[in-house]
Amino acid sequence: MSVASGLISGVEASVEQLVYVREDEYTVARMSADGVPDFVATGRALAGVQPGETLRIFGDWSTHPRHGRRFAVTGCERVTPSSVRAIRIYLGSGLVRGIGPRLAYAIVDHFGEATLKVIDTEPERLTEVVNIGPLRQAQIVEAWREQKAIAALMVTLQGLGVSPLLAAKIYQAFGQDADEVLATDPYRLIGRVRGIAFRIADRIALQSGVPERSPQRVKAALLDRLEAAGSRDGHCYLPVPALVRETAELIEQDQDLVRPMLDALVADRRLVVETSPDQPGQMVAYAKHVHARENALAAQLTRIAQARSTLPLRSFREDPGLHDDQRAAVTMALTSTLSIITGGPGCGKSHTVKAIATTVRAAGGTVTLTAPTGKAAKRLSELTGLPAMTVHRMLAQQPEPEPETLFDERPSQADLIVVDEASMLDLHLATRLTAAVPSGSHLLLIGDSDQLPSIGPGDVLADLLRVPDIPRVQLTHVFRQSGGSGIIDAAYRIRAGRMPETPGRGGFWFEELDDPEQVARRVAHLAMVAIPRKQGVEPAQVQVLCPMRKGETGATALGRLIQDQLNPAADDKPEHWSGATVFRVGDRVMPIRNNYDKGVFNGETGTVTDVVPAERTITIRTDDGESVQYGFDELDDLTHAYAISVHRSQGSEYPFVVAPIVAESGGIMLRRKLLYTLVTRAKAWVVLVGQREALELAVHRIGHRRNTGLARRLSLTLDS
């Protein structure tokens, strides 16, 4: 079995460490085998392997110009480790939850080569090992069975031509029923397993024998096109002709096959077809749950707007320090049960909110200040000097943990509820929010309609501004002229469709570079070295924002580049690879989903403080000081915060912002609202690096209007 001869092909080897995993699943791993010096194996065939697994690998040797001799793997099979050494590596790697290196050594020392057979067929014997009682024994057996099931799923998926990285997610969603779902109805994976949309589920289905023209397949494709329109473009509906055409293109079938299945979904009450809100002669299709929420939101907003005010306020004293439009906004908020305040940066929105809240509290009323994200709520509290919470916490009736915070016992029942950053409200959150507001309470929405709309479907703030009967005040007087004046000037120019001054005044800077690779390197250098050195701050004070997620200048690639420099791998630093993402102690991370059980919410940031393979957990400490634990199977809920998308930054402000502006992939994300949102995230400085034509494209491209029916429904109900 000589390494030099290349006879290593077909040998059983243990995965010691994952060195690198690319987005396309190309994997670099350090391997060991009996009788062979440790070596490096590479290739996409290694996708999904984990430290501790034993593989039978096939391939040949190659020489990399920088990294030297490597074994290029063309195929591999997962096998049960048989030698004492391989079994010890397997159990000590953390693959089986509850067994760490020390316990693995004790178990293997006791049972030898029969260890895995004992765990599989005589698990009660595990209690023969010191420190293993009945509870620990049961945990080990359950984890062993789960790992075996996932490994079997990986083999099944590889046979279907699907990434084995999805196996753990599928098992997590369906448990022991996973094999049956794959065999009988793979389309159930859509929406239940993150990372599986129609194309992957369809590949599994066709491989499993589902006919190309089957009703099951066509219906799944129709629902997928509607879901994609909502998640990708924020649409609540699609015109029926467009939905039929896109579905037919997706499944490469005639439109005549699609139309009857659309009618069948309507009959099954999974789709709703009705007249377009914008074009009376055209029919549009909604997913049932989206249609129901849009109707419910219109009804709730109408109820709030038409209710008789219960605000305990007979008269109020005007603040002489307010501008005329601010005084008008105060009067409106105190006299209208539903109202909106809009305005750009520096126009005094937060000061106006403080004046309104102070007036209500002085009269004996209760006030709840909220925002869609934790960062936005914290910023609202800092700017107003009053306590604020996320909308999610308000709906869960959970006050913030600080004992000094004086929230009302039932925050959603307050006399005045203020929602800042209302442009971030999507259809689903807005429906839950308005349903919780009692009749007679005042709901005041604060936002900047020129910022990006919500990530989810709908365009709630913009829709409400299209309804003339809803009171609103636009604040236009700009107070903030010093300090960040360059940022404000650039923001207002962009909002008006004009190029910002370049290089710009203090606070705004544009550095022109054409090559995307050079742009990426320059952005990383500015964030890690140049700005921290010049401004005397830590790199954590500098946030990289990216218009795109993919590409050389996308958030994924830039985040990895910065992570490798600021927090590189080290022998004494625990880490765990989750797909193509590695989490290390010291990493800056961000939850991307609200988790009420953990008490963390989308947009918060924190630092990884511990990685424990034996328990298959990662612990983070949020910037608010809370310690939160994530299982390895929950890491889809976390992303690195070294570089994030502009959408992810909504509701947040950072001292320093650096961003690439490059027309990669046609610059499809470069739009005025995105650029405006990006620039207004910075408090002290924003530095844009990239192509002038890309900057011009972003300034002048307005972007599409979302397909929504809320404005029409609300106009009809308010008039009735």
What pLDDT, in 10s, does the model give residues 50-102?
Answer: 899 999 999 999 888 888 889 999 998 888 888 898 899 888 888 888 888 89
Mean pLDDT within 689-712: 94
Write down the pLDDT at residue 1: 40
CA atoms within 13 A on the CB side of 298: 21
Q: What is the Cα–Cα distance from 28 to 582, expressed in whole angstroms?
A: 13
Please state, rounded to an integer, the average pLDDT across all residues of the chain. 90
* 3-state SS class at 631: strand
599 vs 493, residue with greater confidence: 493
Structure confidence at residue 397 (pLDDT):
61
pLDDT of residue 410: 66
The pLDDT of residue 403 is: 33
Inter-residue contact 411 to 397 (CB < 8 Å): yes
Residues forming the annotated binding site for ATP? 346-350
Give every CB contact of residue 536 below 8 A, 6+ residues apart in sequence: none
Alpha carbon distances (Å) from 650 to 379, 457, 645, 647, 679: 12, 16, 9, 6, 11
Binding residues: 346-350
pLDDT: which is higher, 505 or 659: 659
Strand order in 508-512's β-sheet? 508-512, 682-690, 654-661, 542-546, 643-645
Q: Are 640 and 589 in contact (CB under 8 A)?
A: yes
Antiparallel, parallel or unpaired: β 617-622 and 606-612: antiparallel
Least confident of 9-18, 34-43, 404-413: 404-413
**Average pLDDT value for residue range 340-366:** 92
Q: When comparing pLDDT for 664 and 710, which is higher? A: 710
DSSP letters, 585-604, are TT-EEEE-S-BTTTTB-TT-
User: Is the confidence at residue 216, as pLDDT, over 70?
Assistant: yes
CA angle centred on 642, ends 487 and 584, rounded to 5°: 165
Residue 375 has pLDDT above 90, yes or no: no
**Residue among 474, 459, 452, 473 nearest 297 (CA):** 459
Do 7-79 and 307-396+411-479 fold alike per CATH? Answer: no
Query: What do you get for the CA distance between the two ends of the chain, in Å?
Result: 84
CA atoms within a 13 Å half-sphere pointing along the CA-CB vector of 246: 18
Task: Count Cα neighbours of 623 within 13 Å in the Cβ-side half-sphere.
Answer: 15
Instruction: Give which of 520, 511, 589, 606 is closest to 561, Cα–Cα.
Output: 520
- 7-79: CATH topology: OB fold (Dihydrolipoamide Acetyltransferase, E2P) (2.40.50)
Q: Which CATH architecture has domain 307-396+411-479?
A: 3-Layer(aba) Sandwich (3.40)
| pLDDT band for position 7 (cuts 50, 70, 90) | low
CATH class given for the domain over 215-294: mainly alpha
| DSSP class of 79 | E
Q: Tell me what the mean pLDDT of segment 401-426 comes to.
A: 73
Region of poorest pLDDT, from 134-148, 383-397, 646-660, 684-698: 383-397
At 407, is the pLDDT very low, low, confident or very high (cuts 50, 70, 90)? Answer: very low
Per-residue confidence (pLDDT) for residue 398, from 0 to 100? 44
At residue 666, the pLDDT reads: 65
Render pLDDT for 249-288 as a digit per residue (tens, 0 to 9).
Answer: 999 999 999 999 999 999 999 999 999 988 888 999 999 9
**Helix-strand-coil split of the chain, %, nearest 5:** 45, 20, 35
| Fold that domain 485-566+639-700 belongs to in CATH | Rossmann fold (3.40.50)
Confidence of residue 408 (pLDDT cuts 50, 70, 90): very low
Domain ranges of the chain: 7-79, 150-208, 215-294, 307-396+411-479, 485-566+639-700
Integer CA distances (angstroms), 596 to 33, 391, 523, 629, in order: 45, 12, 35, 13
pLDDT digits (tens, 9 = 90+) for 428-464: 999 999 999 999 999 999 999 999 999 899 999 999 9
pTM, full prediction: 0.89
Q: How far apart are CA 8 and CA 69, in angstroms?
A: 13
> Would you call 367 exposed, middle or buried from its count of C-beta atoms within 10 A (0-12, 13-18, 19+)?
buried
Instruction: Give the model confidence (pLDDT) of 463-513 as tens digits.
Output: 999 999 999 999 998 876 544 578 999 999 999 999 998 876 789 999 999
Give the residue with greater pLDDT, 678 vs 37: 678
Least confident of 279-283, 409-413, 569-573: 409-413
Is residue 493 helix, strand or coil? Answer: helix
| Per-residue pLDDT at 163 | 85
Average pLDDT over residues 404-410: 44
User: Which of 446-460, 514-528, 664-678 shows the lowest per-residue confidence on average (mean pLDDT)?
Assistant: 664-678
The pLDDT score that the predictor gives to residue 587 is: 96
